[in-house]
Structure 1
C-alpha cells in the first residue's frame, strides 16, 4: 500500500482511503480530372498563361481601346475601301475572335484549376466503400461524412487525416459476432465531433474497438458521443488525446477479463510491451461505463488531465455491484518494475468517480506495478466514492 506524505497536495472529498489502491514492486476518394480540350469548340489552343490576368485579355483590351492601326500609306480614311485596308480589317477581326476564343478556354481552365486546388485532399463520403477508399488514400487529408455510415469491412488509415462527422454517425459493430475496426497504422488522425456506435444492442459480450492503434496518434475534438469499446492499442505506443472536447462515453458491458489483462470491455485500453499515453486537455469527459481505461504491460503508461478539464465517471446501473468496476485499472498480477502508471491531475482540473466494485478492497482506481504514481497539483480535485464499500468490502 502506498502512503502519501503530508507535502503531497490532495483535496479528496468524501474519500474512502481504501478506494485508491497502489501496489508497488509487483471514400469514394474525391479526385478532380481536368476536362479534355474539345478541339471542335476551342480549336488549337496555346499553352495557359499561369497569371490570373492573361496576355490574351490584355491584348483584347488593347484592340478594343486602340482600334485599327493604320500605317503611313493608309493614314487617310479615304482609303478605307482599299483592298489592303479590308484585308487588315479582316485580319484584326479574326485576331480578335481568336483571342476571345483563347481567353474563354483559359478562363475555363483557370476555373477548373481553382476548383482542383480547393478539392485536392478533400473527400465527401456517402458510403462505407468511399470511406475505406479515402481512409487509405495518402492524397486525401480531410474526410467529410455526408450521411450515417455502417461498416461492412475494416478500414485502415496510414497518413494524416481529419475526419469531420458533420452530425452523422459511424456504426462499426452493431450486429452480433462482427469484428470490424478502423486501424490507425500511421499518421496523425483527428476526429471532429464524432458519433461512434460500436455495440450490438442487448449483447453483453465485448467487440473489437472501433479504432485500433498501430502508430501515429489519435485526437478527439468537439462534441463526441461514443458507445462501446472505442480505442485499443497492443504492443504499440498508443497516443490518444482529447483536446477542447466534450465527450460522452457509454458501455454497459462488464470488463470480465480484468484479471487476464486484455482490457476487453473497457472503453479505452493500452496493453502490451510499448509505452502509451492518454491526455485530456481543456475537455469535459462524461464516462458512463463499468470499465473506462485499462493499462497493462511494460514500459509504463501515463495519463495526464490538464487545462481545467472536468471528468465524471459513473456506471450505467447505479445500484449494481460487481468485482471489476473501475475508472482506471491495471491487471492484478502487474507486480513488475517499470509497469506502473503515472496519473497526473493538474491545471485546476477535477475528477469525480462514483463506481461500486467489490473486488480488491473495492477500489475504482486499481493501479499495480513498480513506479505507479498519482500526482495532484494545487487547485485540482480528485473525488472518489464507492457506494458499495461499507456493504460489500
Structure 2
C-alpha cells in the first residue's frame, strides 16, 4: 500500500468515492483518529516530523521493518513508541496522541496499521506477546468472505486482505489455515478482487468490485499477498521466471490470478516505467502524476511473481527520480524504496547515488550501537574470536588424542 493512501487527502478522496457509491459500506474507513499534537510536540521515538494522525503507526512500522532488513537495530524508544500505540485487545489505531491507558472506545481501529505493526514487531526481538495479541485480533475481525476491511465492519478490500496475509506469514501462521466463520481463507477473498482478462483493467486486482480505486496499488499488494509474502517481500531463492510469461490467461485459482496481476503491472509499466495517480478532485491540473510509492510496490510484486526483468525499467526510474519524493513524503517512502531495492537485489545504500538507509535512519532516534570495550573493539567480535579460538584448540586436542591412541 502506497503512502498516498495513508494521507488525509487520499482518505478524503475515498470519502468522495464512497459517497458516490452508496453500495460500498465503508464509512469507518474515513473516520478521523484522535487529534494529533503539533509537530513540535511529537514524541522522540516517532519516525518523521509530519502529522502522524493518519499514518503514525504505519510509517513507524515500515521504518522499523526496513531498517531491520538492513541490520540496523532501532532505538528502544522507537520500538516502545510503536508498542505503546497498541490497544489492550491487540489492535492498533492509525495513531493515538494519548497512549496512556487503553484505547478510547470510539477510536477507529486499523487493520492495515495492525498488520504492518505485526510485520515489524515479528522481525524484532522480544515482541512475541504483542504480535500474538495483534494476530488474535486480526483473526477476530476477519470477514465472512475470508478477507479484511480497512476498519472492522466494512467490506473486504484487496489491500487490507493482502497486508494481513503478510502479517500472518510474519507471525508464523499459515494463511490458508486462517478460515472465517464461513469457511473462507484470505486467498478466497483475494481471488474475488481479480478481474478477468480483457478490457482496461484486465488481469488486475481492484480495491473492491464496486470501488476500483488505484488499480496499480491494489494489484501490487494482491500479487505480493497471493504469494504469502509481506511488505519486505523478497523472491524465494529457488524462484525463477514466471513460466506463463506476461500474457493474461483465464484463471480460477489465486496462483493464476497472481500471474495475471503481474501481467497487468507489466503492461501498465511498459511505456514509462512508472504508475500514475489521478489528480485530486477540483485540482487545477487535470493530468495524472507519477506515483512513486505504487511503482516501488510494483517492483516488489514483479520480482515476487518471477517477472524481475519486467521491473528493471521501473527500478531505474525510481533510482533516477525518487529522491525528492522520498524526502518530501518521509519514513514510509524511504522504506518502500528499500523494499524495492532489496527485492531487486540492489544495494539500498547506493540507490541512485543516495544512501536510503542513512536517510531513513536520520528521520528517527539514533539506533542502538554495538557494545564496545574501552579499546573500541566490538564485544561481539571478541566473543566471536574467542569462540573460534576455542574451536581451534578443541580440534588440536582432538587431533592429539587421535595420534596418541
TM-score, reference length from structure 2: 0.23
Task: Please state which structure has a larger fraction of its residues in strand.
Answer: 1
Determine which structure has more spread, i.e. the larger CA radius of gyration: 1
TM-score, reference length from structure 1: 0.24
Task: Please state which structure has a larger fraction of its residues in helix.
Answer: 2
